Amino acid sequence: MFAIAVKAEQYPTYLLSDTDADAKVTVVPQRGGLITHWQINDQDILYFDAERFANPELSVRGGIPILFPICGNLPDHTYTLEGQAYSLKQHGFARDLPWQVLEQSVRDSAALTLALTSNDHTRALYPFDFRLELTYRLQGHTLTLDQRVINASDRPMPFSLGLHPYFHAADKTQLRFDLPAQQLHDQLTQAVEPFAGHFDLSQPEIDVALTPLSAQTATVVDHHSHRALTLTWSDTYSALVFWTVQGKPYYCLEPWTALRNALNTGDRIITLAPGATHEATVALAVAASP
């Protein structure tokens, strides 16, 4: 049975559940439209830093932050459009702003639709009128994120779109990866090298972009938790970013439509015509593994 409940916490919090599958997802619309928790059989699939979340001055570390209108950072946090310079901090502003709840449904899944609409604050950073809609759907052990970007401006609108899920991993040495890429771009050293199918977890930090992608699915098996995670995505996504830091029980596997600095370089940037809509989907599925 599907259900949605609302709890009065630091922010109004929505709990999506599939009781037959013993699965729950927690969403906080006012804190960046953030999924904070995803639990299956009372096990946390996501890492979540509650202390950072409680401080609105800090970016959230954990859950599934939404990246828009850029993924990654810009040189000096600056991009130029039609000869004018604008400033955007890393990953854009969608993950920091309050979202509006549009719709709830428990018909075929536990589904919650949120929206972020341009305003004076966003236009000072990104001079376009837009509407970003996001529907979270929980069904069984699968969490689907449907995204819709609407250009409400009278001129073409360039943007990147991404997700930044933090997956809980108590022992990262027990992770095994099946990722559809043969090349990685190290975003710390700028080195480009073949992807050997694994990562050197002895490094203090790993921040690499895997591109080009040869398929639209990736799997990570966690032998410690006996769990397999599979990500699938629509073809609008051109890269996966893997990020982790030593000593923290998480790794991030992030679908991005374009890499860092795409607003300046134009590389793989999506440009949406006036009045047009762009749709994208990412699905996360969990299954038991040997």
Which residues lie closer than 8 Å to 166 by C-beta, 6 or more apart?
46, 47, 48, 61, 62, 63, 64, 250, 251, 252
pLDDT at residue number 245: 96
CB 91, CB 71: distance < 8 Å:
yes
Strand partners, 48: 62
pLDDT at residue number 25: 98
Expressed in angstroms, the distance from the first to the final Cα of the chain is: 28
| CATH domain 2-288 topology | Beta-galactosidase; Chain A, domain 5 (2.70.98)
pLDDT at residue number 54: 86
Residue extents of the structural domains in the chain: 2-288
pLDDT at residue number 139: 98
pLDDT at residue number 59: 82
pLDDT at residue number 55: 85
pLDDT at residue number 115: 98
**pTM flag (> 0.85):** yes
d(CA 34, CA 103) in angstroms, rounded, equals 16
Q: What is the 3-state secondary structure (H, E, C) of the chain?
A: CEEEEEEECCCEEEEEEECCCCEEEEEECCCCCEEEEEEECCEECECECHHHHHCCCCCCCECECEEECCCCCCHHHEEEECCEEEECCCCECCCCCCCEEEEEECCCCEEEEEEEECCHHHHHHCCCCEEEEEEEEEECCEEEEEEEEEECCCCCEEECCEECCEEECCCHHHEEEECCCCEEEECCCCCEEECCCCCCCCCCEEEEEECCCCCCEEEEEECCCCEEEEEEECCCCCEEEEEEECCCCEEEEEEECCCCCHHHHCCCCEEECCCCEEEEEEEEEEEECC
Per-residue pLDDT of the chain (290 residues; tens, 9 = 90+): 999 999 988 899 999 999 999 999 999 999 999 999 999 999 999 999 988 888 888 888 999 999 999 999 999 999 999 999 999 999 999 999 999 999 999 999 999 999 999 999 999 999 999 999 999 999 999 999 999 999 999 999 999 999 999 999 999 999 999 999 999 999 999 999 999 999 998 899 999 999 999 999 999 999 999 999 999 999 999 999 999 999 999 999 999 999 999 999 999 999 999 999 999 999 999 999 87
Residue 13 burial (CB count, 10 A)? 18
